[in-house]
Chains A and B, each alone.
Chain A
Amino acid sequence: MSKKNLEYLINRKDNQYEVVIGLEVHAQVLSESKLFSSSATKFGAEPNTQVSLVDAAFPGMLPVINEFCVKQAIKTGIGLNAKINKRSVFDRKNYFYADLPQGYQISQFKDPIVGEGKVILDMPSGQKEVGIERLHLEQDAGKSIHDLDPQNTFVDLNRSGVALMEIVSKPDLRSPDEVNAYIKKLRSIMRYLGTCDGNMQEGSLRADVNVSVRLKGSKEFGIRCEIKNVNSIKFMQMAIEYEANRQVDLIEEGKIIDQETRLFDTKKNETRSMRSKEDAHDYRYFPDPDLLPLEVSEKFIEELKNDIPELPDDKKKRFIEEFKLSPYEANILVSDIDTAKYFEEVVAKMGKNKDIKLAVNWITGELFAVLNSKGLEISQSPVSAKNFAILINLIKNGTISGKIAKTVFELMIDGDKDPQKIVEEKGLKQQSDPKALEALIDKIINDNREKAIEYKQGKEKLFGFFVGQAMKASGGKANPQLINEILKKKL
């Protein structure tokens, strides 16, 4: 496939348009307590049960920075190959809303904690680098609930003050597929680091999507629209697709695109204007006088660097070198930290005489299929890495055939049973005793004299018939390789 064919372009008459996308990802910091208070951050708690006086902005209450959240942000910055700013400043972003108790959000405007960085995407056409503009720490707002009562709005402040990392990309993305890969890569890195659980259903990861279009080959950026708060990759892709086409249509009709903020209506699959540039809030940013500038030492950063685990890109490289995996296989295994962990545990448990390829095939084949059908994460796998490794070894050393292994695997799922025991209890051990197999085959040839003669006369297709008969007679347990060898000799 040539690279050209993979480009995402929008065609109209004679014109081809390129789509330019930048993302502002809001990732909830994985932390027990909030950014400036000690309230818990558990998802799904009863409304307003995780709210301190600081979170509810009572008079005289003051924010105190949670050092753990700062560490998490710096770690994430390191994972994004980004510059860590030793001095950053918390600003107040002022606006009124019922679920914003302070009347301002504490965020970082001019001096974020993390500066420029990059992430590498593995696309079918090859690797693609996406620039990171910045990462800053900020507070989440509470939640307004409008549909519980016809007259009133209810406010839940459990989220109020929860730490978010806003990760702003450069406008380097060019297609919905790249957006998909980018979000997945960010999530993967943060899950490796343990800085964000990446759970989009629970709102731990959401994004504002900036979309513009331009004629292919143009160097100028078009006028962009920002689609607010999209909370699934699928919706992001749909929103981009809709929005890019809407903008192209406007240009084709000779109309002007308004720079505005838009909402994605997931029911109608369209974006709608939320507010124009003229109506944009004046947030009156200024440094929060309740907080001193955040200063971190070189030593503090170095210590965190030493704390960084092997990240997906490095792990992938190592898997390719150490285990002779293909880049494709390595990618599948490293993209999710738990999969990589499982795989490495299987490798370790397989011992000396291991067949890594076989293990990879079984993980990406049988294991993934089971997880998929049961809707489980690999961390909840019904088969432990230890028993999985034993199973692979049983295949590798000829104790069972691949086909029998599937039967054994089915039985293992229920209660993580030891495959060795299953094989013994059910008598599934492969027959590899040449003498016994010879006797068995002698009998089959005897019983099918005519077919044996036909085979000898040249009807080679009948070889399969004899293999089938032998397997059947052994109850599927005969070593197929040996059967082949003996048949060839005897026929």
Chain B
Amino acid sequence: MSDITKQSLTELVENIKNKKLSSTDVTKAFIDRSEKSMELNAYITNDFTSALDKAKKFDQKPNLDLKLPGIPMAVKDLFCTKNIKTTAGSKILNNFVPTYESTVTENIWNEGAILLGKLNCDEFAMGSSNETSFFGNVQSPIDKNLVPGGSSGGSASAVAGQLTPVTIGTDTGGSIRQPASFTGIVGLKPTYGSCSRYGIVAFASSLDQAGPMAQNVKDCALLHEVISSYDPKDSTSIDFKRNHYSKELTNNIKGKKIGIPKEYRVDGMPKEIEDLWQKGIQYIKDCGAQIIDISLPNTSYALPTYYIVAPAEASSNLARYDGVKYGFRAKGENLIDMYEKTRSEGFGAEVQRRIMIGTYVLSSGYYDAYYLKAQKVRKLIKNDFDDAYKNVDAILTPSTPSSAFKIGEKTNDPVSMYLNDIFTVPVNLAGLPGISIPAGHDSKGYPLGLQIIGKAFDEQNILNIAYAMEEKINFKNKITDWWIK
């Protein structure tokens, strides 16, 4: 089977369970393709040798009752992995090897998956193009010199480029959904509290969520089922009844009410995005669901609110990287000098910008005007969704206001870069689940995504809607393997 890497997760699991493929076959195939794909720069660290060992070991005594039996998988380098370097895309953690495992990755290995390596991402997940990584930008498999999106850019590139069957990313303001949209794959940001944050390098604690990224909705549902768990080690983890998302997946969404928020029709949005949205609305109708126009009046405040809340939390979360205990340390004349040099040399420009913004908005005298006000607006944004969900079961929007852009195109314009997250950040602020599915191509042939936003803990419903739409859309990702010589 030469096209192992083209198979979906569901197919691979089936083939391993039916003994048509061994874990070693599958692992080898993805390692081979990963090794041929270094130009994408999707990996920060690979663990291929030990992955192959683990695969062989699995095949000697295969446990086929597991959900991910012997499936190789690379993960975003924001998840702490025991004895494997974990950098968060930053120089300041360039030499950091955790002695512990994040709960989410632990869940994956417990179901039989095997770590391939750690995937590139924006530094501390701060970015929308994977250009802020200390380990260099990531190439999109869609086209040369195209950004894969961010911050889970390495993850998106690796799934779209078939270097890993599926992966996990993290999403603080759109970091799973936006790169999924840019690379033509499926990405789910679960309800806040669904996946444990234990062992994930923190960016903004009240917004961060881990989630699955996959080639299709079913794979996404299966991986979500594995990673979502109640974890007492994370005080914000929520103990609710979790579904067997993949088993309960259905394309029957007849009678569901889907809201279309008028505020997402933003100024300057390209016509092809509007067209895509209309297409999506038609698909929804074709599936027998009902379209209802709704209003989320505070939507326009979401982005400024996000860019106060997230940097505020980040400025405090990143205080621990001070050169004292672990990670990079610059030589200094004294403690303060060491701090200053370590943090100046260890953090990149975007991280420093956000630390400064965050420090500013929390400062005495500015706290009320910025942070406190942002918290109040955040509540209003959440109320908007609560009101809307009195009448609808889910909400359909575009995932991003445009398709992927060229590397370097927006690096000098942070605000234009931040605008990429305009449709995704309200979901994080409200703590809701959101999924991006590929829905079409723009005139350049680049993928475009649609986002389905659900009620809290209602992942099953948005997965079902996505599943039903996926069938109608019948999206084919145009991967030319341009990077393989």
Interface residues of A (CB under 8 A from B): 53, 56-65, 92, 94, 96, 98, 101-104, 153, 155, 282, 284-286, 289-292
Q: Which of A65, A102, A286 contacts B320 (CB 8 A)?
A: A102
Whether A62 and B198, one on each chain, are in contact in the complex, defined by CB atoms closer than 8 angstroms, is yes
Whether B80 and A60, one on each chain, are in contact in the complex, defined by CB atoms closer than 8 angstroms, is yes
Whether A60 and B197, one on each chain, are in contact in the complex, defined by CB atoms closer than 8 angstroms, is yes
B468 within 8 A of A: no
From B52-60, B321-329, B419-427, the one touching the partner chain is: B321-329
Whether B235 and A63, one on each chain, are in contact in the complex, defined by CB atoms closer than 8 angstroms, is yes
What is the distance, in angstroms, from B319's C-beta to the closest C-beta of chain A?
2
CA gap between A94 and B317 in the complex, in Å: 10
What is the distance, in angstroms, from A35's C-beta to the closest C-beta of chain B?
12
B236 within 8 A of A: yes
CA gap between A292 and B232 in the complex, in Å: 13
Whether B88 and A57, one on each chain, are in contact in the complex, defined by CB atoms closer than 8 angstroms, is no
Whether B335 and A98, one on each chain, are in contact in the complex, defined by CB atoms closer than 8 angstroms, is yes
Whether B319 and A286, one on each chain, are in contact in the complex, defined by CB atoms closer than 8 angstroms, is no
B161 within 8 A of A: no
Q: Which of A64, A65, A103 contacts B316 (CB 8 A)?
A: A103
- Contacting A at CB under 8 A, from B317-372, are 318-320, 322, 324-326, 335, 339, 359, 362-364, 367, 371
Interface residues of B (CB under 8 A from A): 80, 86, 88, 93, 96, 98-100, 102, 197-202, 204-206, 232-236, 312-313, 315-316, 318-320, 322, 324-326, 335, 339, 359, 362-364, 367, 371
Please name all residues of chain B whose beta carbon is closer than 8 Å to the beta carbon of A56 when the two chains form the complex. 325
Q: Which of B236, B316, B320, B322 contacts A284 (CB 8 A)?
A: B316
Please name all residues of chain A whose beta carbon is closer than 8 Å to the beta carbon of B371 when the two chains form the complex. 286
Q: Which of A60, A64, A285, A289 contacts B206 (CB 8 A)?
A: A289
Please name all residues of chain B whose beta carbon is closer than 8 Å to the beta carbon of A286 when the two chains form the complex. 312, 316, 362, 367, 371
What is the distance, in angstroms, from B310's C-beta to the closest C-beta of chain A?
10
Given contacts A103-B319, A286-B367, contact A292 B235 (CB under 8 A): yes
Per DSSP, chain B at the interface is loop
Per DSSP, chain A at the interface is loop
Closest A-B pairs by Cβ, 5 of them: A103-B319, A289-B205, A284-B362, A289-B206, A60-B199
Q: Which of B99, B206, B313, B364 contacts A282 (CB 8 A)?
A: B364
Whether B325 and A284, one on each chain, are in contact in the complex, defined by CB atoms closer than 8 angstroms, is no
Q: Which of A53, A65, A101 contacts B100 (CB 8 A)?
A: A53
Q: List 24 A-B contacts (CB under 8 A).
A: A53-B99, A53-B100, A56-B325, A57-B325, A58-B325, A59-B86, A59-B202, A60-B202, A62-B198, A63-B235, A92-B316, A94-B315, A94-B316, A96-B339, A101-B325, A103-B316, A103-B318, A103-B319, A104-B316, A104-B319, A155-B324, A286-B362, A289-B206, A290-B202
CA gap between A153 and B336 in the complex, in Å: 13
Whether A291 and B235, one on each chain, are in contact in the complex, defined by CB atoms closer than 8 angstroms, is yes
Residue of B nearest to A63 (CB): B235
Whether B234 and A62, one on each chain, are in contact in the complex, defined by CB atoms closer than 8 angstroms, is yes
Whether B197 and A62, one on each chain, are in contact in the complex, defined by CB atoms closer than 8 angstroms, is yes
Whether B232 and A64, one on each chain, are in contact in the complex, defined by CB atoms closer than 8 angstroms, is yes
Please name all residues of chain B whose beta carbon is closer than 8 Å to the beta carbon of A62 when the two chains form the complex. 197-198, 233-235
Please name all residues of chain B whose beta carbon is closer than 8 Å to the beta carbon of A64 when the two chains form the complex. 232-235
Q: Which of B100, B318, B319 contacts A58 (CB 8 A)?
A: B100
CA gap between A397 and B45 in the complex, in Å: 87
Please name all residues of chain B whose beta carbon is closer than 8 Å to the beta carbon of A96 when the two chains form the complex. 319, 322, 339
Please name all residues of chain B whose beta carbon is closer than 8 Å to the beta carbon of A58 when the two chains form the complex. 98, 100, 325-326
